[in-house]
Structure 1
Amino acid sequence: MASQKRKKSLFTWMLVLGCLAVRNTQAAHHSHDFHFTAIGTARSLLNLIVISSVDDVQLCYYNKQNQQVVMKAAWMYQALGANEIEQKHKKLISLEKSFHWAFKNLIKNETNGEKNHTLQVFVDCELDKDIQVSSQFQFALDGEDFCQMDEQLGRWVAMKPEAKRFKPLWDSALWNRLVKHYIQEDCIDIMKKILQYSSMRENVPPDVTVSRHDAPDGRVTLFCRASGFYPRSIMLHWERDGAPGVWGQESSSGTLPNGNATFYLQIILELPPSDPGTGYVCVVEHSELQTPATFPVPGKPSMERPWVTVLSIMAVIILALSCVGAFITWKKRKTAALQQKNVGEQQAFCILFMANSPLRHAANHQ
């Protein structure tokens, strides 16, 4: 019997640990992106700025002017290690030569060799439950799309006619091998190391507020705001009477970062004039919520009748005037009594003075 109890207890603990392990390994959607911005001429590279972000949180920064890799958080040095950071530093310095070569070949036919140009490269990779789901590699020259890698087609696509002359380079096995290696090593592998480091950001459930605005013309607008949550992936939608649907004009702010490495999202539903806005709830789905959470829309705020408000104001005014009038009356009475008292004292003084006056004594003597 005791043995069966121990087995049952062991099975329970194994089940609990298994659930915790599953929850920890079921990471939400994550993205890692690099922004390269190079400024140069046909003769020289003037500047190169590189910004790396995970889940829209900026992690590190590189500038050609000082050739230093700056980590935005101290724990990043521990997450990547000194050797890894030094290797990335050397790669970035070497990358300056690649951008210099790119400027010379992109604008080599330009007559004005001193004219400044801007070359931008955007690299992005995404993970869902530790599985790579997509990646992007795009080039832009002077603010216009130049070329990009099309994952579905499995080849590079020229966005401008000038880009077609680089087709032999893009189709080469060496170029494609370098691109795949960069995405795997510098984008995917680095992101995994960062996400495994617990100090990056603890998972936080969203703080949800739901409100409504009733316009004078009768239109009702509903607001659902989720803030302070991490990781970034979240779903918000409206339901009425327990069923999803579309009842008006919907809009969204998009998931945006906060200053503390968390995120916020707001969705808005503008209802038609005939809809009183009752029975609506905002449904929130996030990895830190065990089940989808529902947040009901508050009812229409009660409006006091105008005459009640007017009477209340009048009562306050009358009470204030009564208090002022009572004070003035009391002040007048007190002033009058004081004046009467002073007159009596003056009369008494005069009578006493006349009774003891030397003139009176002289008249009596005569």
Structure 2
Amino acid sequence: MRTVVLLLMGVHLAYAGMHSLKYFFTGVSGDIDFPEYTAVGLVDEGQFYYFDSNIKQAVPKTEWIRQNEGEDYWVRETQNMVGYHQSFKNNIQILKERFNQSAGVHTWQLMYGCELNDDGTTQGYHQYGYDGADFVSLDKNTLTWTAANPQAVITKHKWEATTYAAKEKGYLENTCIEWLKKYLDYGKDTLERKVSPQVSLLQKDPSSPVTCHATGFYPSGVKISWQKNGQDHDEDVDLGELLSNEDGTFQRTSTINVEPDEWKNNRFSCVVEHQDKTIRKTEDDIITNFGDSVPIGIIVGVVAAVILLVVIGVVGYLVYQRKKGFKPVSASDDGSNSSART
């Protein structure tokens, strides 16, 4: 399970002035306690659509999609996803042979989607990954596929001999944007809300790192930074991934790793900026396992439970591009051919 969880913990920010529609498909083979295939759809980083090969049914994850799309939509989506499941299984087998693999856990992943800026400009992305690494990605300007390794060159040539790239370009630039606008209209009240974060400083004991935890905020664009004696400090700081909460809001952490003496002899503070609000927390606000504060074990346990729910709910997230900052669908928009054979 650890392998899959590591592949799931990435979500990328939707900043003010930009809206996005993205889908993440993941096929898994091997001895693992997860569905063989999952699909997750997101609008502005919030999940609205889910399918996995255990439940064998596409289901709504928000009220706004539930109220605006009827049974035909979900029947069609279920039929599409059942077909894609088989295609993903086939592709994993092909790639295992191509990479000369016979056992172990292997993943075939796809992320595609579009972004709409307030000035009307758009972007579109369509990329595949195998076993946590890049495989092939679409260059829609040249209608070619970029191979990330020698094994992917075979797929590149195969797909460039078809109209696959042209179809995806049309989808990303037209159909995807049309459905994004429709979904934004469906979920206007929810997607345009603004909720400020709750911020806590957490520390297990005096020698442990200090974690700044921001949660319950919407939209997802948040900046977490540290200051030392009033000056920006970005050394020894680990910024966590953005995660979704069950209520559709978001959470994120930033951990600073400094020696106890350095912490004691300086004034550190965590600064969280969201929309027009800035929240600052200092050592006076730390919640710990020592002293008279609320035990951090209880708080961390709650956070871990939320993260577990997130992992289960968004098991299809494609984050093999975490190391590069992977930039960014299809549902009833009937767009991308995610069943393409490698």
TM-score category by the smaller chain? 0.5 to 0.7
* Structure 1 residue 243: Cα displacement: 3.3
- Give the equivalent residue in structure 2 for 1:307: none
Q: Is 2:122 aligned against 1:137?
A: no
* Structure 1 residue 95: Cα displacement: 4.9
Q: Larger Cα Rg: Structure 1 or Structure 2?
A: 1
- Give the equivalent residue in structure 1 for 2:166: 177
- Give the equivalent residue in structure 1 for 2:331: none
Distance 2:210 2:89 in 1: 53
- Give the equivalent residue in structure 2 for 1:168: 157
Distance 1:50 1:132 in 2: 24
Q: CA offsets per residue over residues 175-195 of structure 1, 9 Å max, x none? A: 112112343466544343333
* Structure 1 residue 235: Cα displacement: 0.5
- Give the equivalent residue in structure 1 for 2:239: 252
Q: Which amino acid aligns with 2:169?
A: K
Q: CA offsets per residue over residues 37-74 of structure 1, 9 Å max, x none? A: 4579xxxxxx7543323455432233567764222334
Kept in 1, the 8 Å contact 2:217–2:249? The answer is: yes
Q: Is 2:282 aligned against 1:297?
A: yes
CA separation of 1:109 and 1:124: change in aligned 2, threshold 3 A: closer
Distance 1:173 1:207 in 2: 51
Q: Which of the numbers 182, 200, 205 marks the counterpart of 2:196?
A: 205
Q: Which of the numbers 22, 28, 34 marks the counterpart of 1:33?
A: 22
Q: Which amino acid aligns with 2:273?
A: E
Aligned length: 263
- Give the equivalent residue in structure 1 for 2:231: 243
CA separation of 1:133 and 1:284: change in aligned 2, threshold 3 A: farther
* Structure 1 residue 123: Cα displacement: 2.4
Consecutive unaligned residues of structure 1, counting only runs of 5 or more, are: 1-25, 41-46, 111-115, 302-366
Distance 2:109 2:149 in 1: 15
Tell me the percent identity: 25
CA separation of 1:50 and 1:224: change in aligned 2, threshold 3 A: closer
CA separation of 1:188 and 1:82: change in aligned 2, threshold 3 A: farther
User: C-alpha root-mean-square deviation of aligned residues, in Å?
Assistant: 4.7
Kept in 2, the 8 Å contact 1:27–1:128? The answer is: no
Consecutive unaligned residues of structure 2, counting only runs of 5 or more, are: 1-14, 30-35, 100-104, 287-342
Q: Which has the higher contact order (CA 8 A, sep 6+)?
A: 2
Kept in 2, the 8 Å contact 1:29–1:233? The answer is: no
Specify which structure has the higher proportion of helix.
1
Q: Is 2:220 aligned against 1:232?
A: yes
Distance 1:278 1:107 in 2: 54
Q: Which of the numbers 41, 53, 64 marks the counterpart of 1:75?
A: 64
Distance 1:38 1:274 in 2: 46
Q: Which amino acid aligns with 2:240?
A: S
- Give the equivalent residue in structure 1 for 2:316: none
- Give the equivalent residue in structure 1 for 2:328: none
Kept in 2, the 8 Å contact 1:28–1:233? The answer is: no
Kept in 2, the 8 Å contact 1:253–1:267? The answer is: yes
Give the TM-score, by structure 2 length: 0.57
Q: Is 2:147 aligned against 1:158?
A: yes
* Structure 1 residue 163: Cα displacement: 2.8
Q: Which amino acid aligns with 2:49?
A: C
- Give the equivalent residue in structure 2 for 1:268: 255
Give the TM-score, by structure 1 length: 0.54
- Give the equivalent residue in structure 1 for 2:4: none
CA separation of 1:48 and 1:240: change in aligned 2, threshold 3 A: closer
Distance 2:106 2:267 in 1: 56
